[in-house]
Chains A and B, each alone.
Chain A
Amino acid sequence: EVQLLESGGGLVQPGGSLRLSCTGSGFTFGNYAMTWVRQAPGKGLEWVSGATATGTNTYYGDSVKGRFTISRDNSKNTVYLQMNSLRAEDTAIYFCARETMMYDFWSAYKDYWGQGTRVTVSS
């Protein structure tokens, strides 16, 4: 059974940093691109970042570019999201999701999602 488990969320002050982790099980992790998607309170889904299966290529949404870094350790079946210079508007539930392709985000879709981890940026 495919499972994705996010961790690392919590309360952080504006300007602070947090690292989210997403560990996959039940599939060959290194064969799939992975994505982070978030949902702020009262808002819709927002794509945050994606990494190809090997982690060679990474992509970011404009709102997080230059502040967030996605990486992955396929030996640990884990994808990370390093979040720096956090702002109040980064407050959201962060989901990780598995893409159906290794490299082609443009033709892929998210077939499995984690339950999410909550990030609150507040003083």
Chain B
Amino acid sequence: QSVLTQPPSASGTPGQRVTISCSGSSSNIGSNSVNWYQRLPGMAPQVLIYGNDQRPSGVPARFSGSKSGTSASLAISGLQSEDEADYYCAAWDDSLNGEVFGGGTQLTVL
């Protein structure tokens, strides 16, 4: 049972817009910034979004993040086949004094 709650799966067709949610609490998302990581099959994870809504250089503008209260979302527009991966949200938890990850969302491009 992960501290941050994500849907286990999501899907879309090429070109569509998909949103992945991440629900937490006042001690994590409500207090600290949210980061999103992508893990492609067989690869190490990589950051997609940091600080709730910032994209590192090299990450396509199709990826965007937002946060409101104790929830956050990752949106992927113009879905592409290479976006098939697992996506994780993460945030520091002040009560646990450690970082917490969501359970991950497996994205399928139909």
Binding site for B on A (CB under 8 A): 35, 37, 44-47, 50, 59-62, 95, 97, 100, 105-107, 109-111, 113-116
Contact = CB atoms under 8 A, between A and B. Distances in A.
A105 B45 contact: no
B44 A107 contact: no
B101 A47 contact: yes
| Nearest 6 Cβ contacts at the A-B interface | A44-B104, A106-B92, A109-B50, A113-B44, A47-B99, A109-B35
Contacts of A111: 47, 56
A59 B98 contact: yes
Contact of B98 (A44, A61, A95, A110): A61
B100 interface: yes
Contacts of B70: none
Interface size class of B (residues with CB under 8 A): 20 to 34
A115 B100 CA distance: 21
Nearest to B92: A106
B35, B51, B56, B99, most chain A CB atoms within 10 A: B99
16 contacts: A37-B45, A37-B101, A44-B88, A44-B103, A45-B37, A45-B101, A50-B98, A60-B98, A106-B33, A107-B32, A109-B50, A109-B51, A111-B47, A113-B45, A113-B46, A114-B44
Contacts of B94: 106
A59 B94 CA distance: 12
A110 B37 CA distance: 9
B98 A45 contact: no
B68 interface: no
B47 A45 contact: no
A105 B92 contact: yes
B108 to A, nearest CB: 16
A47 B90 contact: yes
Contacts of B44: 95, 113-116
Contacts of A45: 37, 39, 45, 88, 90, 101, 104
